[in-house]
Chains A and B, each alone.
Chain A
Amino acid sequence: MELNINGIQHHVDVEPDTPLLWALRDDLAMTGTKYGCGLAQCGACTVLVDGQAVRSCVTPVEKVAGASITTIEAIEQDDLGKRVVAAWVKHQVPQCGYCQSGQVMAATSLLRQVPHPTDADIDAAMVNLCRCGTYNAIRAAIHDLASGSTDGGA
């Protein structure tokens, strides 16, 4: 199976129904993407497929062969992604950090779709779980990004 991840073509030798998350973590050793529940419940495994946030634990590799996959390892190669990470640092969002690679992916996808999200938009789109309760910091960081005060170099 050929997968385009972070702009690089990778060959993985897996069954077509293998979850993308396993291919990333076990076959390609890209462990920035986390495993939380394996049942599409938490969002820790979120990656971008053609710019859309998807949960890699419930995405068969067969479905994304040929698509452009972005993981947390390369999110800063993207302008918007870079700004999101900077805002995350500025607002000191992560606590334990386990859910945060997924949160960053979800936020990037939201801001690409809705550059100036309202609180309601954030509630609707940011449905990843965080055991540490960083929801308020996430909201503040996203508002900050929407108002444009955080640039890539911040």
Chain B
Amino acid sequence: MTNRLKKIFAVVIPASAVLAAGAAWFVTRLPASSFEKTGSQEEPSAQLVARGEYVSRLTDCVACHSVPGGAAYTGGLKMVTPMGAIFATNITPDRETGIGAYTLADFDRALRSGVAKDGHRLYPAMPYPSYAKLSDDDVKALYAYFMKGVPAVHQENRESTIPWPLNMRWPLAFWNVVFAPSDVYRPDTSKDAQWNRGAYLVEGAGHCGACHTPRSLAFNEKGTDSHSAAFVSGALIDGWFAPSLRNDPNTGLGRWSEDDIFRFLKTGRNDHAVVFGSMTEAFNNSTQFFSDDDLRAVAHYLKSLPGNAQRDGTPWKYEPTQAAVVQPAGRQGIPGAQTYMAKCSFCHGTDGRGQGQWVPPLAGAASSLVPDSSSSINVTLNGSGRVVAAGVPDSYRMPSYREQLSDGEIADVLTFIRSSWGNRQPPVAKGDVKKLREQTVPASSSPVILKTR
């Protein structure tokens, strides 16, 4: 080897060793927690535990960390990613299989930084990029609740099915640097207190963006706060199109008042819509338990997010049902019209306007006006889950039509719905129905409702 080469190696090898060591340190290091100095805590007050229980409703931990039939917070929910399935973990205070050995600082790192006690990086299916915005007080309360308010259950976690090398977690440390906000919510001083509370709930605790914000190729949410036009602008997730929560005139909340939003989150329904798809679970276990003030704050904040009038085109306007559809003879010439009259019209009305707040309209509904037809297809195939408001199950529920209607019939009836009453979407493809039929299962009529007392 020439001297020159030797010299180069003499520099390059130690340098890369230092870099590698640095990187290794970086990807396994425990991020800072504001609770590092907090020693072994004194017994939390009952008040703090109760406060934590409320925060757990805001953050809706139970949505993922429980499965039907399983004990609360023991995990097990399967989440399918393009690389394989991952399973939510046991977060009861069991010392071996749960988080019983976690200190407040450990808990904080998992919650707000996505790093488990042993240093491994959590997948961002755990919405820590949103939870990063939680206040220290709320984290403390949540910890008190999980340690003292939740019964410990011994239940092993399930391994993910993501194969090597994709299952290596350390690259997530770099993902976090680029994509995960790492600061608590900072109030915008140009806005009032109610707006700021709403922002805290929507962007942070409620992690609405986890479903409603579109993700880019690296799976990060394209926007994480009110400054981004992509934030909660609607996204496809798990076979549902979570609609825009911005003021888009057709596909968002443009036609909803603050009071409409409040009632939707409080009772699960209003004259525009009834919760369905994954929102049923978010309602059953989370939003209905928000205090009225918190829900009003959410509504106030959401109504401040501008819509995209250009994307939506002409604002929707109701048009009456074509006369032929109402005639037994006439409707047979219109694809989908007979199925609509025989299967849908008794609830949603021959006029497509539903029945007050009890049965949602299809005319002008976001699901009918958004170009992605997944939600329309999914709810027709699988029906909707039971909505349980204040302990009372709903009287009216969308049944599953997967056994009754073929792919072609579903495509036709949805094409009819999505092009009637002022709705103007192109035909629904039979192939899309087929695909979703294979990927989804009927909604359960016995929902998981967490009883915390």
A residues sitting closer than 8 Å to B (CB atoms) are: 17-19, 39-41, 54-55, 58-60, 62-63, 110, 113-114, 117-118, 120-122, 124-125, 127
**Residue in A39, A60, A124 whose CB lies within 8 Å of B329:** A124
Bound: A58/B395 CA distance, A: 8
Are B328 and A58 in touch, CB under 8 angstroms?
no
B contact residues, total (Cβ < 8 Å): 18
The residue of chain A having its C-beta at the shortest distance from the C-beta of B330 within the complex is A124
The residue of chain B having its C-beta at the shortest distance from the C-beta of A45 within the complex is B346
Are A120 and B332 in touch, CB under 8 angstroms?
yes
Residues of A within 8 A of B359 (CB): 58, 60
Are B358 and A17 in touch, CB under 8 angstroms?
yes
Are A127 and B395 in touch, CB under 8 angstroms?
no
Give min CB distance, B402 to chain A, whole Å.
Answer: 13
Give min CB distance, A143 to chain B, whole Å.
Answer: 14
The residue of chain A having its C-beta at the shortest distance from the C-beta of B269 within the complex is A17
If A17-B358, A58-B359, A60-B358 touch, does A120 touch B329 (CB 8 Å cutoff)? yes
Are A41 and B399 in touch, CB under 8 angstroms?
yes
Chain B residues numbered 341-361 whose CB sits less than 8 Å from any CB in chain A: 341-342, 346-347, 355-356, 358-359
Top 4 closest A-B pairs, CB basis?
A124-B328, A121-B328, A127-B342, A40-B346
B338 interfacial contact with A, CB 8 Å: yes
Cβ contacts A to B, 17 pairs, < 8 Å? A19-B396, A39-B399, A41-B399, A55-B346, A58-B347, A60-B359, A60-B395, A60-B396, A62-B356, A110-B328, A114-B329, A120-B329, A120-B332, A121-B328, A124-B331, A124-B332, A127-B342
The residue of chain B having its C-beta at the shortest distance from the C-beta of A64 within the complex is B355
B78 interfacial contact with A, CB 8 Å: no
The residue of chain B having its C-beta at the shortest distance from the C-beta of A52 within the complex is B350
The residue of chain B having its C-beta at the shortest distance from the C-beta of A40 within the complex is B346
Bound: A118/B151 CA distance, A: 66
Bound: A124/B332 CA distance, A: 8
Bound: A51/B193 CA distance, A: 54
- Residue from the set A39, A113, A120, A121 with the largest chain B CB neighbour count within 10 Å: A39
Are A117 and B328 in touch, CB under 8 angstroms?
yes
B255 interfacial contact with A, CB 8 Å: no
Residues of B within 8 A of A58 (CB): 346-347, 355, 359, 396
Give min CB distance, A66 to chain B, whole Å.
Answer: 14
Give min CB distance, B276 to chain A, whole Å.
Answer: 15
If A60-B355, A127-B342 touch, does A113 touch B399 (CB 8 Å cutoff)? no
The residue of chain B having its C-beta at the shortest distance from the C-beta of A110 within the complex is B328
B397 interfacial contact with A, CB 8 Å: yes
Given contacts A17-B395, A19-B396, A124-B341, list 16 more A-B pairs with CB under 8 A: A17-B396, A19-B395, A40-B346, A40-B399, A58-B346, A58-B355, A60-B359, A62-B358, A114-B329, A120-B332, A121-B329, A124-B329, A124-B331, A124-B332, A124-B342, A127-B342
If A40-B346, A40-B347, A124-B338 touch, does A18 touch B328 (CB 8 Å cutoff)? no
Give min CB distance, B353 to chain A, whole Å.
Answer: 11
Give min CB distance, A64 to chain B, whole Å.
Answer: 10
Give min CB distance, B328 to chain A, whole Å.
Answer: 4
Give min CB distance, A9 to chain B, whole Å.
Answer: 22
Residues of A within 8 A of B395 (CB): 17-19, 60
Bound: A121/B328 CA distance, A: 5
The residue of chain B having its C-beta at the shortest distance from the C-beta of A114 within the complex is B328
Residues of A within 8 A of B338 (CB): 124
Give min CB distance, A27 to chain B, whole Å.
Answer: 15
In the complex, per-residue mask of B372-401: 1 if CB is within 8 Å of any chain A CB, else 0: 000000000000000000000001110100
The residue of chain B having its C-beta at the shortest distance from the C-beta of A19 within the complex is B395
Bound: A19/B332 CA distance, A: 30
Bound: A120/B331 CA distance, A: 11
The residue of chain A having its C-beta at the shortest distance from the C-beta of B326 within the complex is A113
Residues of A within 8 A of B341 (CB): 124, 127
Bound: A42/B347 CA distance, A: 13
Give min CB distance, B356 to chain A, whole Å.
Answer: 6
Residues of A within 8 A of B347 (CB): 40, 55, 58
Residues of A within 8 A of B399 (CB): 39-41
Give min CB distance, B385 to chain A, whole Å.
Answer: 14
Bound: A118/B332 CA distance, A: 12
Are B328 and A113 in touch, CB under 8 angstroms?
yes
Residues of B within 8 A of A117 (CB): 328
In the complex, per-residue mask of B293-329: 1 if CB is within 8 Å of any chain A CB, else 0: 0000000000000000000000000000000000111
